[in-house]
Amino acid sequence: MVTLKQLAKELNVSISTVSKALNNSEEIGKDTAKRVKELAHLYNYKPNKVALSLKQNKTKTIGVIIPNILNYFLAKVLFGIEREATLQGYNIITCVSNESLEKEKESLQLLANGSVDGFILSVAKETQMKRETEHFNKTIRNGLPIVMFDRVAHDVMCDKVIVDDFESTYNATKRLLAEKRKHIVFITTVDNVSVGKLRERGYNKAISETTTHTPLVLKINTRNNTSKKVKSFLMKHKTIDGVVAADSASGIISINTAVNIGLKVPEDISVIGFGSKSVSYHSIPQLTTIRQHAKKIGSAAAQQLIKRLELKKGASLETSTKIIKTSLIKSKSTL
């Protein structure tokens, strides 16, 4: 890598002259500026990012801590963050917490040594269960702002970008009720996590405010037996005519299972699940989905963080909570 020093030497001028010339300073004579720029271009000079960071005490880098990168929703959010960050001249350093509090703490620690200017993160399950927040607060006190998305720690004072989880399942359930569905089950992969609870509550509210039944919830805790569980559940409760699934896999599996045991979808049973367009193709008929607009969540989080990072010195900005509304996209698995 070429440095200012080398350019200066070759041009027989001082380092500061070169620096100023390249930064279009008014102070520098036209032809000097030209000579400098030409040589810089010839050598493909790029200012050293590390030196710049040290000097300006900011790295133009965002730390992203994600619980699980194999989750399509989270990957999509990451995609949105990356795009927005790149657009605004920021890089992202990605860490995966694997839902572990310990790894979350470590990542925060590790990057809080000047590697990044701030964080975007979704809270690990373990962290939510243990209700730990001190590591977040400490980071913020150290001057590194945090933006949380989706799974947030409500009692940490920071910017947040969330989904209308409660409303989304409330509306989905209402939708099935409007189809005259009588026995609607809520299928969830057990996570004692804010988001999951809210979704269940949305379903509960819709059911209890419209019908006289008790809500019916099927909790599934390991990934691998969803199919079996759903099958035996449907066999046992023959009256089920509607499914609201709290994640995309359950929705897909519900449709395929129902078809497999001879039910007609959506005539006999309607299914709505969370998920994206691409996953909806994994079932026949295609799944009617609740879309979370993951990319939008990512870009909103990045925008908010960068806005805060680029605040003039001394200026302040109230923490905000942005809600990205879900959309219910009708496909073939509902009437």
The residues binding DNA (CB under 7 A) are 1, 3-5, 12-17, 19-20, 22-23, 26-29, 32-33, 45, 47-48, 51-52, 54-57
CA distances, 97 to each of 15, 237, 325 (Å): 44, 39, 26
117 binds its own copies per the rule CB under 8 A: no
Which entry of its own copies, DNA, none binds 111, CB below 5 to 8 A by partner kind? its own copies
Pairing assessment for the beta strands 288-291 and 270-274 based on DSSP bridges = parallel
Across 97-235, the runs of DSSP E, i.e. the strands, are: 118-121, 146-149, 159-163, 184-189, 216-220
Segment 142 to 161, residues that bind its own copies, using CB under 8 A: 142-143
Q: Cβ closer to its own copies: 112 or 177?
A: 112
- Each residue of 38-59: b (16+ CB within 10 Å) or e? ebbeeeebeeeeeeebeeeeeb
Segment 28 to 67, residues that bind its own copies, using CB under 8 A: 46-51, 53-54, 59, 61
3-state secondary structure of 329: strand
- Contact with its own copies (CB under 8 A): which of 6, 19, 94, 133? 94
Across 221-324, the runs of DSSP E, i.e. the strands, are: 242-245, 270-274, 288-291, 321-324
Q: Pull the structure tokens for residue 199.
A: 């979704």
Which entry of its own copies, DNA, none binds 221, CB below 5 to 8 A by partner kind? none
d(CA 82, CA 206): 37
CB of 167 to its own copies, least distance (A): 26
Residues in contact with its own copies by the rule CB under 8 A: 1, 46-51, 53-54, 59, 61, 69-70, 72, 75-76, 78-79, 82-83, 86, 91-96, 109-115, 142-143, 223-224, 226-227, 249, 252-253, 256-257, 259-260, 278, 281-284, 286
